[in-house]
Copies of this chain bind each other. A is one copy, B any other.
Amino acid sequence: MRYHLGWVDRHGNPSPNPSSQGKALRPTLCMFACDALQGDPRQAAPAAAALELIHNFSLVHDDIQDEGTERRHQPTVWALWGTPRALVAGDAMQCLGDLSSLLANGEVPAKTAMRVSQLLTDSYLEMIEGQCRDLQFEQRAAIEPDEYLEMIALKTGALIRSSLAIGATIAVDDDDTVAGVARFGRAIGRLFQIRDDYLGIWGDEAIVGKSTDSDIVQRKKSYPIVFAFKHASGSSREELTRLYALESMEESDVDRVMEVLEEIGADKQTNELTTSTAQEALAALGSLELPPWATDDAEKLVEFLASRLF
């Protein structure tokens, strides 16, 4: 678990590796929401840790499922220690996440702590449901862009949304405010994933920390691909179908896929969806009554998520 979190090397020696520690997006969002609503962010710390652990548990299991051998610039857990131990490491991390969220009980009233556990558990069931749909998509020929967006709203979006909703719940006892913050979170979640999909094809390998063309090589049905398969016609469609039917893709096949994607405008469409989702996030933000510093930080976050290069 410590290795996966980037705290130690594969031998267990303390060797913090910042590039393997992830962005800590979810705990940051959780503590931010609490702070922005005039709560005490320290009260949100156990739940914030829980969110990061739950997220990382899902990554450890995802890597087993996808047979991914590299994550955050280092070999994945299953690749080093085999599936059985990686499976149990993921289970343990999930369980520690649950335990951490229960620690909120010492910080806030039991009723609030129960609500936090409920929000966390509901959202990671959605996450698992999303993972399940994602697995089903792998075995299907055609995926509608809308189905894809619904899947990522579950797989990635739910936990990002609940990160903010949980922070808000700890700060205030007001359903409307929590719902407003959750709306902002829903947009942020989509924004994050759509940009991830863009970077998975057009990102810079050295910055992203995994082979840039891996989404294509792995036949990952990310947004640009789903969009392209939906809108390709004539020779573009034939070529995409031929390339995706190949036993394995060479460098030149990947280049050709990227050319076809660009001919169809998949890159442009992905960027447009990023922009419109960023606008949704800003609109949701506008309806919240936050102090200026918080609105400012949240706007910067939206801008960062919409334009990040890693």
Binding site for B on A (CB under 8 A): 61, 64-66, 83-85, 87-88, 91-92, 94-96, 98-99, 102, 105, 109-111, 113-114, 117-118, 121-122, 124-125, 128-129, 131-132, 135
B-side contacts of A110, CB under 8 Å: 109-111, 113-114
- State in angstroms the CA–CA spacing of A111 and B110 once bound together: 6
When C-beta atoms are compared, the residue in chain B nearest to A130 turns out to be B88
| Known interface pairs A84-B135, A105-B114, A110-B111; A91-B121 also in contact (CB < 8 Å) | no
CB distance from A231 to the nearest CB of B (A): 29
- State in angstroms the CA–CA spacing of A110 and B116 once bound together: 12
**Which of B87, B91, B99 lies in contact with A122, CB distance below 8 A?**
B99
A95→B61 contact, CB < 8 A = no
A92→B132 contact, CB < 8 A = yes
A135→B85 contact, CB < 8 A = yes
13 pairs across A/B with beta carbons < 8 Å? A61-B88, A64-B83, A83-B83, A84-B135, A88-B128, A88-B131, A91-B128, A99-B118, A102-B121, A110-B111, A110-B113, A113-B114, A117-B117
Q: Which 10 A-B pairs have the closest CB atoms?
A: A65-B84, A110-B110, A95-B125, A110-B111, A98-B121, A92-B128, A110-B114, A91-B128, A105-B114, A99-B121
B-side contacts of A122, CB under 8 Å: 99
- State in angstroms the CA–CA spacing of A26 and B88 once bound together: 22
CB distance from A93 to the nearest CB of B (A): 10
Taking each of A91, A96, A111, A121, which has the highest tally of chain B beta carbons within 10 Å of its own beta carbon?
Answer: A91
A64-B87, A91-B131, A99-B125 are known; give 16 further A-B pairs, CB within 8 A.
A61-B87, A65-B84, A65-B88, A66-B84, A85-B132, A88-B128, A88-B132, A88-B135, A95-B128, A96-B125, A102-B117, A102-B118, A105-B114, A105-B118, A109-B110, A110-B113
- State in angstroms the CA–CA spacing of A268 and B132 once bound together: 48
CB distance from A104 to the nearest CB of B (A): 9
**Which of B87, B105, B125 lies in contact with A87, CB distance below 8 A?**
B87
- State in angstroms the CA–CA spacing of A118 and B66 once bound together: 33
| Known interface pairs A88-B65, A135-B85; A114-B95 also in contact (CB < 8 Å) | no
CB distance from A112 to the nearest CB of B (A): 9
- State in angstroms the CA–CA spacing of A83 and B63 once bound together: 12
CB distance from A179 to the nearest CB of B (A): 20
- State in angstroms the CA–CA spacing of A267 and B257 once bound together: 65
B-side contacts of A94, CB under 8 Å: 91, 94
B-side contacts of A117, CB under 8 Å: 98, 102, 117
| Known interface pairs A64-B83, A83-B83, A84-B135; A114-B91 also in contact (CB < 8 Å) | no
- State in angstroms the CA–CA spacing of A158 and B203 once bound together: 47
- State in angstroms the CA–CA spacing of A79 and B163 once bound together: 36
CB distance from A10 to the nearest CB of B (A): 17
